[in-house]
């Protein structure tokens, strides 16, 4: 009787990107045609907007922090320093935070929850598949790491780091492009607010 084995090939990240794009398209009608009920209570909307901007900036800085450690070593080593000492997938955590920030900028609790749940689910599934490869590749080393460090929700008490960190310039440049996508969410949310304020498209109220 044969047993199934995990293929020793990294996860196809293009599928993850495609899934995230589909999730955005699914959420797009809510983004375009809903109007925050908090827009008429300006101070509430402003607080949500500022919070959203802060979360997006945190997401960008967090992704840079993670890339400084993992660099071009993804799938080549079991990184256990810096953000990777507190969680196994910091890039996915900070990406989720960025999506939540976009929802907050739109002034909608419902949109924030829907988009965050969609993106978090996709990234969690991707993380699970990545870990299947890493367990097959690194065996007990990764098993011990996974038993000690949570997957995505960080445990700050575990933080540790070396005194010096080397990074790959090309990988950092690629992450800069990803960061610009997150930063582009800020003017996108502002444009959405302006269009709805002027009543240029039909909208329905959304909490």
CB 175 within 8 A of CB 169: no
pLDDT of 2 above 80:
no
pLDDT above 90 coverage of the chain, percent? 68
Collect all residues with Cβ–Cβ distance below 8 Å to 193 and sequence separation of at least 6.
39, 106, 107
Sign of the Cα pseudo-torsion (81, 82, 87, 90, in order): negative
Q: What is the pLDDT of residue 109?
A: 95
C-alpha 62/C-alpha 189 separation (Å) is 21
For the segment 126-147, what is each residue's pLDDT rounded down to a tens digit? 999 999 999 999 999 999 999 9
Q: Give pTM, 2 decimals.
A: 0.90
The better pLDDT of the pair 196, 6 is held by 196
Q: What residues contact 111, with CB distance under 8 A and at least 6 apart? A: 27, 30, 31, 34, 103, 206
CA atoms within 13 A on the CB side of 83: 21
Mean pLDDT of the chain: 90
For the cut 80, the answer to whether the pLDDT of residue 5 exceeds it is no
Q: What is the pLDDT of residue 8?
A: 65
| Model pLDDT, residue 72 | 77
The reported pLDDT for the residue numbered 50 is: 96
Give the pLDDT band of residue 39 (cuts 50, 70, 90): confident
Mean pLDDT of 99-124: 96
pLDDT of 7 > 80? The answer is no
pLDDT tens figures, 27-36: 999 999 999 9
CATH hierarchy code of domain 37-162+188-199: 1.20.120.1630
8 A C-beta contact, residue 62 and residue 82: no
Of the ranges 13-22, 68-77, 88-97, the best mean pLDDT one? 88-97
């Amino acid at each position: 009787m044969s047993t199934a084995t995990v293929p020793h090939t990294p996860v196809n990240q293009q599928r993850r990107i495609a899934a995230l794009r589909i999730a955005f398209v699914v959420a797009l009608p809510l983004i375009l045609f809903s109007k925050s009920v908090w827009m008429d209570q300006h101070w509430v909307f402003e607080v949500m907007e500022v919070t959203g901007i802060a979360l997006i900036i945190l997401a960008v800085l967090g992704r840079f922090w993670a890339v400084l450690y993992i660099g071009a070593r993804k799938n080549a080593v079991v990184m256990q320093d810096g953000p990777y000492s507190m969680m196994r997938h910091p890039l996915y955590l900070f990406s989720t935070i960025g999506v939540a920030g976009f929802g907050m900028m739109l002034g909608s609790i419902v949109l924030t929850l829907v988009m965050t749940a969609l993106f978090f689910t996709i990234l969690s599934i991707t993380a699970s598949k990545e870990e299947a490869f890493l367990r097959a590749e690194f065996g007990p080393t990764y098993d011990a790491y996974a038993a000690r460090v949570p997957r995505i929700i960080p445990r700050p008490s575990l933080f540790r780091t070396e005194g010096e960190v080397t990074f790959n310039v090309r990988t950092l440049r690629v992450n800069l492009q990803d960061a610009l996508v997150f930063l582009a969410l800020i003017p996108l949310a502002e444009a959405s607010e302006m269009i709805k304020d002027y009543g240029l498209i039909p909208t329905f109220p959304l909490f």
